[in-house]
């Protein structure tokens, strides 16, 4: 009789678990699909950026020995390995140069699933949802930033250490040390900084957690656990781990001994780490921190709020303490490491997103307090719906005010032709918001009103973040007004490539054998545009191009080539300095990516000129013509 009763109960429990896992798996599959579409759509439609060209050309010339130009040293050995493999198998387009990092970026969206037992089912799922719509993560993935590789190595380190603490198996220690070595020597210039941030965060989190357990009189339980379990440090075979880490660094650095010169990229990486603290020309101070605050304001608000709420309620877990410490040290590192790329904003965005997900769990949690039993569950969602509507109306009003401020005379605020209707709408929205908060608080509770406001910010932030990410990656990819693209690449680079292909049809029937003289940096955008022409010669002075049939000069200066030439200019780079931004333009710049004509005049454009000798242009190809 006992067996008859237990069997159906066990089957029912298994079916329920299977259903739960299936629905959760479908959610993560959907998020991964969305992330994949956002990263691969129009990936080939945006010209390769200045931060991408050196690494892409280094891999291209390693994969194609007959490619023009001297070998380059990549700034990321792991990215060099991935791009070399991609170029060797798929060709040499912008899509191929970016595909590996785009796939890794999509995979980061579902990484919270690895830490589901630690974070909890709800927080892990909400963490993944927020990552799927993060504009900084999307842009970093689409522009082949090696910071994505650094984050994957950081994930591997944290997961191995967590598993080591649970199982005391030395294999996880080997994995953590190997991943740490890869983060320092194989990722990118910010990799050693990120490792230092993680190490300090873990140290502070452990000390704070032990202090909290002591206050709660849990030290006896901790002492018994330590007495019965060996230390994780003692479980690691350090000599074997060091040998494995060294072997991995050597194999990846040399592309599995096929390209020994690739080890130079390790030295380039470490040199970039030191130079990063000295700043980078053309970038403002604390550049990664500025990018993080600019594109993720809602995540900053929700993440910090979540940390404060959990601290005041004394509900911080070890994971929460680690994320809070990561946010603190990541902010310091972002401020000091001003030479970092805009993708380094992820040093603060990742812990903030996890803390925002933790806050969202608390906002969605059903109250068990008897005082809240009379409050309906849907009340917080009703407040959130009203809040989203008010935020949308507020945004429209702010856009109108921003447009008016932008049209002020010489950037003076008091001369702005502000429409009174916009100010009235702002006041009405503000008053209605205050009345709604007081009404919700009196009708239900203050906690319900605050939860509704938090959910409204969360939902509105997700929607606007998706628009910001797509704007960075596609719509405004060539606009220097975007903080992500202070040195933007113009899509005229595609027109330059097409024009070179048309000229090559005349010269060599489209086989890329056309002789081409190029006055440009060998790791720049113009060098990438000429990568398919094997007879390209890089020159160092315009006088060397005199008499050459086809000349490409990356300069705004028109040279004297000593003969009849026909030329066409192509925009390659657009730059703009945030120092030219006036106070009147600040709101419009942040909300609309528009500035006044006065601020826009500080924008500069770099052109490349393609010169064809007259006989080439006429199609006679008379090599004896005296230019």
- DSSP label at 551? E
**Percent of the chain residues past pLDDT 90, beyond the cut:** 54
* pLDDT at residue 56 tops 90: yes
Q: ∠ CA(283), CA(61), CA(537), 5° rounding?
A: 90
* pLDDT at residue 408 tops 70: yes
- Mapped onto helix, strand or coil, the DSSP state of residue 445 is coil
Task: Please count the helices (runs of H) and the strands (runs of E) in the chain.
Answer: 25, 6
Strand order from edge to edge, sheet including 487-489: 487-489, 565-575, 604-613, 550-553, 516-519, 536-538
Give the DSSP per-residue string, 97-151: HHHHHHHHHHHHHTGGGGGHHHH-HHHHHHHHHHHHT-HHHHHHHHTT-THHHHH
Q: Are 608 and 553 in contact (CB under 8 A)?
A: yes
Count of residues in the chain: 627
Predicted confidence band of residue 55 (pLDDT cuts 50, 70, 90): very high
- List % helix, strand, coil for the chain (3-state, nearest 5): 70, 5, 25
Tokens representing 45 are 């439609």
Predicted confidence band of residue 592 (pLDDT cuts 50, 70, 90): confident
Span 237-262, pLDDT tens digits: 999 999 999 999 999 999 998 888 88
pLDDT at 424: 86
Mean pLDDT estimate for the chain: 86
Distance CA(461)–CA(441), nearest Å, equals: 23
* pLDDT at residue 1 tops 80: no
pLDDT at 399: 84
Distance CA(171)–CA(308), nearest Å, equals: 37
| Dihedral over alpha carbons 66, 69, 75, 80 (to 10 degrees) | -10
pTM for the whole thing? 0.90
Annotated domain spans of the chain = 2-364, 376-444, 490-618
Q: Are 103 and 144 in contact (CB under 8 A)?
A: no
**Beta-bridge partner residues of 518:** 538, 552
* pLDDT at residue 484 tops 90: yes
Whole-Å CA distances, 116 to 48, 89, 125, 358, 400: 37, 36, 8, 13, 44
Q: Are 77 and 185 in contact (CB under 8 A)?
A: yes
Predicted confidence band of residue 269 (pLDDT cuts 50, 70, 90): very high
- Mapped onto helix, strand or coil, the DSSP state of residue 65 is coil
* pLDDT at residue 4 tops 50: no
* Rounded average pLDDT over 421-436: 87
Tokens representing 61 are 């010339």
* pLDDT at residue 540 tops 60: yes
The least confident of 288-297, 372-381, 486-495 is 372-381
pLDDT at 218: 59
* pLDDT at residue 182 tops 50: yes
* Spatial CB neighbours of 550, under 8 Å, sequence gap ≥ 6: 503, 507, 514, 515, 516, 517, 610, 611, 612, 613, 616
* Rounded average pLDDT over 128-146: 95
pLDDT at 275: 87
Predicted confidence band of residue 12 (pLDDT cuts 50, 70, 90): very low
Residue 210 CA to its chain's centroid (Å): 34
pLDDT at 581: 82
Burial 366-392 (b: 16+ CB within 10 A, else e): eeeeeeeeebeeebbbebbebbbebbe
Q: Which stretches within 231-317 are classed as H helix?
A: 238-253, 264-276, 287-295, 297-312
* Rounded average pLDDT over 410-433: 79
Span 463-476, pLDDT tens digits: 999 999 999 999 99
- DSSP label at 557? S
pLDDT at 411: 59
Residue 260's Cβ-side half-sphere holds a number of Cα atoms within 13 Å equal to 0
Predicted confidence band of residue 86 (pLDDT cuts 50, 70, 90): very high
Range ranked top by mean pLDDT from 48-52, 185-189, 376-380: 185-189
Rounded to 5 degrees, what are φ and ψ at 573? -140, 140
* pLDDT at residue 625 tops 60: no
* pLDDT at residue 133 tops 90: yes
Selection from 206, 269, 325 nearest residue 58 by Cα:
269
pLDDT at 10: 44
Predicted confidence band of residue 621 (pLDDT cuts 50, 70, 90): low
* pLDDT at residue 370 tops 70: no
* pLDDT at residue 510 tops 60: no
What angle, rounded to 10 degrees, do the helices at 379-406 and 420-443 form?
160
Residue 186 CA to its chain's centroid (Å): 19
Provide the 10 A C-beta neighbour count for residue 122: 16
* pLDDT at residue 171 tops 80: yes
Selection from 107, 127, 125 nearest residue 353 by Cα:
127
Q: Which stretches within 41-76 are classed as H helix?
A: 50-63
Tokens representing 330 are 């990541």
* Rounded average pLDDT over 402-408: 79
* pLDDT at residue 311 tops 60: yes
Q: Are 529 and 510 in contact (CB under 8 A)?
A: no
Q: Are 153 and 185 in contact (CB under 8 A)?
A: no
Distance CA(617)–CA(564), nearest Å, equals: 10
Place of tokens 């904003």: 345
Place of tokens 């003692």: 234
Higher pLDDT, 322 or 422: 322
pLDDT at 123: 94
* pLDDT at residue 223 tops 60: no
CB under 8 A, 24+ apart: contacts of 368-372: 371/445, 372/445, 372/447, 372/448
Higher pLDDT, 212 or 72: 72
Provide the 10 A C-beta neighbour count for residue 541: 9
Distance CA(571)–CA(566), nearest Å, equals: 17
């Amino acid at each position: 009789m006992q067996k008859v009763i237990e069997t159906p109960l066990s089957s029912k429990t298994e079916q329920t678990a299977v259903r739960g896992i299936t629905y959760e798996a479908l959610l993560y599959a959907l998020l991964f699909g969305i992330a994949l579409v956002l990263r691969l759509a129009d990936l080939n439609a945006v010209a390769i950026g200045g931060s991408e060209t050196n690494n892409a050309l280094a891999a291209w010339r390693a994969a194609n020995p007959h490619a023009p130009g001297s070998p380059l040293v990549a700034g990321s050995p792991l990215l060099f390995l991935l791009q070399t493999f991609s170029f060797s198998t798929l060709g040499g387009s912008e899509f191929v140069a970016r595909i590996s990092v785009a796939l890794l970026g999509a995979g980061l969206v579902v990484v919270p699933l690895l830490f589901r037992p630690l974070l909890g089912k709800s927080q892990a799922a909400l963490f993944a949802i927020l990552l799927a719509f993060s504009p900084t993560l999307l842009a970093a993935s689409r522009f082949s930033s090696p910071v994505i590789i650094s984050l994957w190595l950081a994930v591997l380190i944290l997961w191995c250490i967590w598993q080591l603490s649970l199982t005391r198996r030395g294999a996880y220690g080997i994995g953590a040390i190997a991943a740490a070595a890869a983060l320092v020597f194989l990722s990118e210039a910010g990799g050693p900084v990120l490792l230092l941030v993680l190490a300090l965060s873990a140290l502070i989190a452990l000390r704070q957690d032990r202090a909290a357990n002591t206050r709660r009189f849990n030290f006896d339980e901790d002492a018994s656990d330590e007495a019965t379990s060996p230390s994780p440090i003692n479980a690691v075979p350090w000599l074997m781990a060091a040998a494995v880490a060294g072997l991995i660094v050597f194999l990846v650095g040399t592309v599995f001994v096929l390209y020994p010169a690739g080890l130079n990229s390790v030295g380039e990486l470490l040199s970039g780490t030191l130079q990063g603290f000295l700043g980078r020309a053309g970038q403002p101070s604390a550049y990664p921190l500025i990018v993080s605050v600019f594109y993720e304001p809602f995540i900053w608000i929700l993440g910090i709020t979540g940390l404060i709420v959990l601290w005041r309620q004394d509900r911080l877990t070890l994971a929460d303490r680690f994320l809070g410490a990561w946010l603190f040290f990541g902010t310091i590192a972002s401020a000091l490491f001003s030479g970092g790329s805009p993708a380094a904003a992820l040093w603060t965005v990742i812990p903030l997103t996890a803390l925002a997900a933790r806050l969202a769990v608390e906002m969605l949690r059903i109250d068990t307090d008897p005082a809240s039993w009379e409050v309906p569950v849907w009340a917080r969602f009703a407040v959130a719906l009203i809040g989203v509507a008010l935020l949308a109306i507020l945004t429209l009003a702010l856009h109108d005010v921003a447009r008016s401020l932008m049209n002020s005379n010489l950037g003076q605020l008091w001369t702005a032709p502000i429409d009174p209707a916009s100010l009235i709408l702002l006041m009405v929205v503000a008053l209605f918001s205050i009345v709604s908060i007081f009404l919700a608080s009196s009708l239900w509770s203050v906690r319900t009103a605050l939860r509704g406001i938090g959910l409204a910010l969360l939902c509105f932030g997700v929607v606007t973040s998706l628009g910001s990410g797509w704007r960075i990656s596609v719509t405004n990819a060539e606009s220097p007004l975007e903080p992500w693209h202070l040195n933007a690449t113009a899509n005229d680079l595609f027109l330059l490539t097409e024009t070179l292909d048309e000229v090559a049809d005349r010269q060599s029937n489209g086989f890329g054998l056309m002789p081409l003289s190029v006055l440009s940096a060998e790791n720049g955008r113009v060098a990438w545009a000429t990568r398919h022409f094997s007879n390209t010669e890089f020159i160092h002075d315009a006088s060397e191009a005199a008499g050459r049939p086809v000349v490409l000069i990356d300069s705004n200066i028109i040279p004297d080539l000593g003969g009849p030439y026909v030329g066409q200019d192509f925009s390659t780079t657009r730059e703009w300095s945030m120092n030219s931004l006036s106070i009147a333009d600040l709101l419009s710049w942040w909300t609309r990516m528009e500035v006044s004509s006065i601020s826009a005049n500080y924008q500069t454009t770099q052109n490349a000129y393609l010169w064809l000798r007259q006989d080439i242009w006429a199609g006679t190809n008379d090599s004896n013509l005296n230019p």
